[in-house]
Structure 1
Amino acid sequence: MDRLSPLTANIFLIALLCCCISGTSYAQVKSAEIEIVGLDGPERENVGRALEVPPDLIKEGIVDEAWLERLKRQVPEKVRQALEPFGYFTPTVVSTLEKSGVGTYRLRVEVEPGKPVLITSVTVNVSGEGALEAAIKEMIVDFPLRQGDRLRQDIYEGAKADLEKKVVSFGYLDAAYSEHSIRVSLRELSASISLTLETGRQYRFGPVSFTGNPTYPEAFLQRYLAFKPGEVFSQEKLARTQSNLIGADRFKVVTVRGKKEAAVDDAVPVEIDLSPSLPKRLKFGIGYGTDTGLRGSVRYQDLNIGRLGHGLDAELKVSEIFQGLGVRYVFPAKVDMKSFSSLKLGFEREDTTDKLVEYVLVEGEHTRTIGRDILGSVFVRLQQEDSSAGHQTTRSFLLMPGVRLSGHRYDDVIRPTRGFRYDLEVRGADRSLGSGTSFLQFLGSGELIVPLPQRVFLITRMRLGTTTAHESAEELPISVRFFAGGDNSVRGYRYQSLGPEDADGKVVGGRHMIAGTVEVEKALGKNWGIAVFYDTGNAFNNWSNMNAAQGAGIGGRYYTPVGPIRLDLARQISVREPDYRIHVTMGLDL
């Protein structure tokens, strides 16, 4: 057969050492390499591993010539054993030890794999209660080794383990092979495979007990279970339950065990041992953004008020342009761990170059899960506002009912390389309900991250807002008007500097807003990245007069456990005298 060009693997390093043992001196190898000829792919890799030098035979980088001679004699058997998993049982192996310099050796191994062993029959049977499961039947039909294939023991072992794992995942915890064999005939170079898996009986989830003095009521803890008593027992659901409880951020230690040995009538009791963490917490945060300037926050949480599992969350946020104080009381729902009702009271003040917005609010919200990754909520918000933009002033009371829908899925929290998120909201006010004005608004935002080759990622973002109102734009409260520009909008422009203007050129906000981003990021090392981006968008009163602003530039990224640090240099596009602007965002929890 044709031989491939030599492939070499250096496995000894240059070393200088003299060794005397019981007065007998052995020639010392200064450098050695093993050259494997005639193999490629996984077969060559496995042979290379078989010929590796055991670590305890190398001392201070030195191995003697006597050991190399022993290795040379062992090569044929080592190669044969390394090729058997790939169906080659009768290889021809020629090994030569060549001295190519002072203390420098080459062990050349020439391999002719020979004819492979072919599979003549494959018999896979499953007996017991689980034999009728459709997914198990499908795995039998799709068994990866078939008649006429070359025998691959690695594929066989993987398929055998996967079938058993699948059966166990359906609650057949006693599943075991009563027969698993490969019969090989070297004379005929043939092999027959025979597998018989006994499923045993099917187990189900039994009663759940919580131990460790968790201090939370049992009804609250039941929300985190990924199963219900009576469902088919699954280790995957046990693992998800443990993940849910750890993610609740209420427990220092979580241990979830299915006690099969205590099963009664095939119902496996589940014991969950919890060690609660402190429910009362005080957190401080500090950061900086080009939009906000220096910013800081103080947050107080009590996650178990009255040992009912209710939560209190109070946060003070302060920056150069924004000040806000909010208090929220959360009533957890019993249906699942993400559903809740809440009552929020707050005050917010934002003072930018062209506007000042101040309001107090009270908001009630009820949130439920829709499927696994979607949250939907209905809310009612009462808001008293006193704001100004340019020469316009709005002092109004709003009663705004609305609905929200949100979802997200990322492959990593700190540095996502694939995933998406979206937030949608519809809200409105009407004079007939006591509001000072009438309008209906839709707000939406989203992000999509798509991985490309060479650790490059395409990131797209979109923000949209639109308002339907019978009154003029000046009658719309400033707090619900739209503005564009800034770190998270159209870079190259100052924060909220884009939108309709009054007679003096002051930005007063508009009925509608749209902003989009296309960004390509290249990962560098573990924590760094560089990006190029293009932003476009604006706020406006008429869709026919959008006049979208544009900005583009380059940026750097550094990812930390508490979020990324971003530095961007953006340039305005399609303007008579384009300006450059640096955008910086960073934040750390203290």
Structure 2
Amino acid sequence: MRLWRRVSRNVAGGGVCAFAAMLGGQSTPAEAFDFSSLDVFGLFGSKEQPPAVSTSTLPYQLSFDLGDAADAKALTRTLQDASLLYRLRQDAPPDGETLARRMAADLNPLVDALWSQGYFNAEVAIAVDGVALKPGVEPGAALVRAAETHRNREPVPITVRIQPGPVFGLRNVAVVERGEGAPVIADPAKVSKLKPGDAATSGALRAAQAALVDHLRNQSRPLAKVVEMRPVVDHAARIMDVTYVVEPGPLAGFGAVTIGETGDIPPAVVRSFIYLEPGDPYSPKALADTRKSVATIPAIGSVRIREADKLDAAGNLPVFVDVTERPKRLIGFSARYSTIDGPAVKTYWEHRNLFGGAERLRLEGDIFLAPRINGTKISSFDDFERSDLGGRFTVSFMKPALWGTRYDWLVDGTGARERVGTNRYGGYTARYANVTTAIRRRFSDTFSVQAGLEVERGQTSDVLGQVDYTLVGIPLSVKYDSTDSLLDATRGIRATASVTPYPSFLGSTVNVVQSKAAVSGYYAIDEDARYVLAGRVGLGSIAGEKLADIPATRRFYAGGGGSVRGYAYRTLSPLGPLGQLTGGRSLFEASVEARIKVTDTIGLVPFFDAGMAFESSIPNFKQELQYSAGLGLRYYTPIGPIRLDVAAPLNARKGDKPVAIYISIGQAF
């Protein structure tokens, strides 16, 4: 679609030429997609060769001559896209007169294409054997004869000669209100991002138009629109002044939220995840947050939010929400591997609408190679023992929006047999079963609190001895998440904190209070988030019993792919008898990353990690921390980045491997 139509092509003496705007919102006739544009990829064979010569048609060979234009390749592509001659090059006309008319019809679109790139003094001519056709001139008999001389001999050689001249720059940018004539935006250059001297291209002007509308909508003006654009070109000075005429529309809030199509999902469940209320100030960000919030319901595949085209009687804008349901059942398989943590496989099954209320039931089974911690190795298949396999089975159930409220019911169960550590530093073995049920209260799309009841029975064994235990606790937690993505956050903060007392009067054999907290932040340096700084800090504490009386699975350890990369999983902790790991009663972890997108699909991530578990119930920073650094490679896909991290310990202990490799989906934090 052209940005403007010409009112006059040239002004004698370099005068001023005005254009009538063609707004981006106007409809244009549909055009068939030209698959020949894919020729550059070699997908459909070459279309550069003209049809064979014949007595009944007049095929032609088209070329573009742009002289010494600096951006000749890109400009040629723009001209080809606008050219009727180029699009119809495989459809040979029957005679020279038809070909001449086709050439004449190409002139105005070519001039439009040049003007859209800022070439307002461009000269255009289409020639056959030296006979040229220029804008404003009708094709004559000489051009027809020149074309006919090639009949049944060779394709007619047609050359599009362009002298683009200089690119015009912008000078003044103004934004005025329709009918008032007064400025409506204090700093239009800042909002439109158009600066004096910028190239006066249609793409820049169209992007500025969208930015102006977005700015007004962000001021709670949902009906804002640009009704006219008035570009004025001074050919002598080679500059353009442009004025945008806008209708800002009234200030408005959100009106009624109507739930439309939901499939088999109850509308009340969808409404529970919408935090817009009638009268709230209108905000495009609030709509984006609503879409993201509703999409967190596991049963929902996509969310569509529509705005009314006019305000209601109260001066608010009604909103309509439609969702599509995901397939109800899911079964899958995954595998992972790290050079330190070893291989693991997982299978899972999920039902996303179990009882017709968007309930999710998920079953998972993990099998992994449990590391040897007794000084022996698996050198051959005959060395393998049943105890070298670890396993974990989990079941989770969620009932969202209890009775249409913002309360969710959660149930999680886990049964596991695992062995954690290394031959060099030992570790622990554990068998346990855990069941937790909780109620979560969502206050907004970013903030929630949760309280529940937890029961766990198990047995752990390590260098400090064997602990047979029962834990009955009351887990309390709070979560805040303002990030823009779960797997690849570029902006926002993610914070969680929990405290769980396990008092003996509830039946716990270990009377402790466990606390955890983690916060991560993400800052995009540029608007397109190609450069992102990310940081994370994690803390933990256990108060109450002595270290030896606490189950090894509940003690704190650092190290591994989600902690201090480069060190084996859960191997950073105090050392007890025989230099073996004991775990700690407190934890500190920190990570920083620079996420750099080299291309749209490839990224590099240099990172630095630090952490350690401590014997005291509060981190003791007089004790040495363990550090690591590395470089990650990211391959960005529609579902999230595929992560490959190579990490090396900076102050390695004896027995630590020099390098560790981690592969997974999603960022490290």
TM-score of the superposed pair, with normalisation by structure 1: 0.68
Identity of aligned residues (%): 18
2:86 maps to 1:34: no
2:348 maps to 1:298: yes
Q: From 334, 342, 355, give the equivalent of 2:428.
A: 355
Q: From 534, 542, 556, give the equivalent of 1:467.
A: 542
How far apart, in 2, do the equivalents of 1:145 and 1:584 lie? 42
How far apart, in 2, do the equivalents of 1:361 and 1:289 lie? 26
The equivalent of 1:124 in structure 2 is 176
SS of match in other structure, 1:436:
coil
Q: Using a 3 Å threshold, how does the CA distance of structure 1 residues 176 and 500 change in structure 2: closer, same or farther?
A: closer
Task: Report how far residue 406 of structure 1 moved.
Answer: 3.2
Task: Report how far residue 272 of structure 1 moved.
Answer: 4.9
Q: From 556, 559, 566, give the equivalent of 2:644.
A: 566
Task: Report how far residue 193 of structure 1 moved.
Answer: 5.5
How far apart, in 1, do the equivalents of 2:170 and 2:598 lie? 47
The equivalent of 1:330 in structure 2 is 398
How far apart, in 2, do the equivalents of 1:142 and 1:581 lie? 48
Q: Using a 3 Å threshold, how does the CA distance of structure 1 residues 405 and 126 change in structure 2: closer, same or farther?
A: farther
Checking the alignment, whether the CA contact within 8 Å between 1:250 and 1:303 is kept in structure 2 is: yes
Alignment of 1:137-156 (within 5 A): none
2:332 maps to 1:284: yes
How far apart, in 2, do the equivalents of 1:523 and 1:513 lie? 32
SS of match in other structure, 1:219:
helix
The equivalent of 1:489 in structure 2 is 563
Which consecutive unaligned segments of at least 5 residues does structure 2 have? Answer: 1-39, 41-45, 130-155, 371-389, 422-426
The equivalent of 2:497 in structure 1 is 424
Task: Report how far residue 390 of structure 1 moved.
Answer: 1.7
How far apart, in 2, do the equivalents of 1:401 and 1:485 lie? 28
Alignment of 1:108-187 (within 5 A): 124-125=176-177
Q: Using a 3 Å threshold, how does the CA distance of structure 1 residues 411 and 69 change in structure 2: closer, same or farther?
A: farther
Checking the alignment, whether the CA contact within 8 Å between 2:290 and 2:445 is kept in structure 1 is: no
Alignment of 1:40-439 (within 5 A): 49=78, 54-56=85-87, 58=89, 91=121, 124-125=176-177, 195=245, 197=247, 199=249, 205-206=255-256, 208-211=258-261, 214-216=264-266, 218-229=267-278, 241=290, 244-251=293-300, 256-257=305-306, 272=321, 276-279=325-328, 281-290=329-338, 291=341, 293-305=343-355, 307-321=356-370, 322-333=390-401, 339-353=407-421, 354-369=427-442, 371-408=444-481, 421-431=494-504, 434-439=507-512
Checking the alignment, whether the CA contact within 8 Å between 1:493 and 1:572 is kept in structure 2 is: no
SS of match in other structure, 1:294:
strand
Report the more deviating stretch, 431-440 or 254-263: 254-263
Q: From 530, 547, 568, give the equivalent of 2:624.
A: 547
Residues 313-344 of structure 1: CA distance to partner in whole angstroms, max 9, x if unpaired? 44443333443334444343469997523243
Report the more deviating stretch, 205-214 or 386-395: 205-214
Checking the alignment, whether the CA contact within 8 Å between 1:376 and 1:406 is kept in structure 2 is: yes
Q: Using a 3 Å threshold, how does the CA distance of structure 1 residues 80 and 496 change in structure 2: closer, same or farther?
A: closer
Residues 331-375 of structure 1: CA distance to partner in whole angstroms, max 9, x if unpaired? 434699975232434433322353122333343333334554233
Q: Using a 3 Å threshold, how does the CA distance of structure 1 residues 292 and 303 change in structure 2: closer, same or farther?
A: farther
Task: Report how far residue 300 of structure 1 moved.
Answer: 3.6
SS of match in other structure, 1:573:
coil
SS of match in other structure, 1:504:
helix
Task: Report how far residue 479 of structure 1 moved.
Answer: 2.6
Task: Report how far residue 195 of structure 1 moved.
Answer: 4.1
Query: 1:568 corresponds to which letter in structure 2?
Result: V
Q: Using a 3 Å threshold, how does the CA distance of structure 1 residues 545 and 67 change in structure 2: closer, same or farther?
A: farther
Checking the alignment, whether the CA contact within 8 Å between 2:60 and 2:157 is kept in structure 1 is: no
How far apart, in 1, do the equivalents of 2:167 and 2:568 lie? 73
How far apart, in 2, do the equivalents of 1:179 and 1:573 lie? 65
Task: Report how far residue 481 of structure 1 moved.
Answer: 0.8
The RMSD of aligned alpha carbons is 5.9
> How many residues align structurally?
559
Q: Using a 3 Å threshold, how does the CA distance of structure 1 residues 167 and 126 change in structure 2: closer, same or farther?
A: farther
Query: 1:223 corresponds to which letter in structure 2?
Result: S
SS of match in other structure, 1:474:
helix
How far apart, in 2, do the equivalents of 1:186 and 1:78 lie? 20
How far apart, in 1, do the equivalents of 2:650 and 2:233 lie? 73
Query: 1:364 corresponds to which letter in structure 2?
Result: T
Q: Using a 3 Å threshold, how does the CA distance of structure 1 residues 449 and 358 change in structure 2: closer, same or farther?
A: same
Query: 2:337 corresponds to which letter in structure 1?
Result: G
How far apart, in 2, do the equivalents of 1:141 and 1:534 lie? 40
Q: Using a 3 Å threshold, how does the CA distance of structure 1 residues 265 and 506 change in structure 2: closer, same or farther?
A: closer
Query: 2:574 corresponds to which letter in structure 1?
Result: P
Report the more deviating stretch, 505-514 or 352-361: 352-361
How far apart, in 1, do the equivalents of 2:491 and 2:158 lie? 49
TM-score of the superposed pair, with normalisation by structure 2: 0.62
Query: 2:625 corresponds to which letter in structure 1?
Result: A
How far apart, in 2, do the equivalents of 1:443 and 1:114 lie? 60
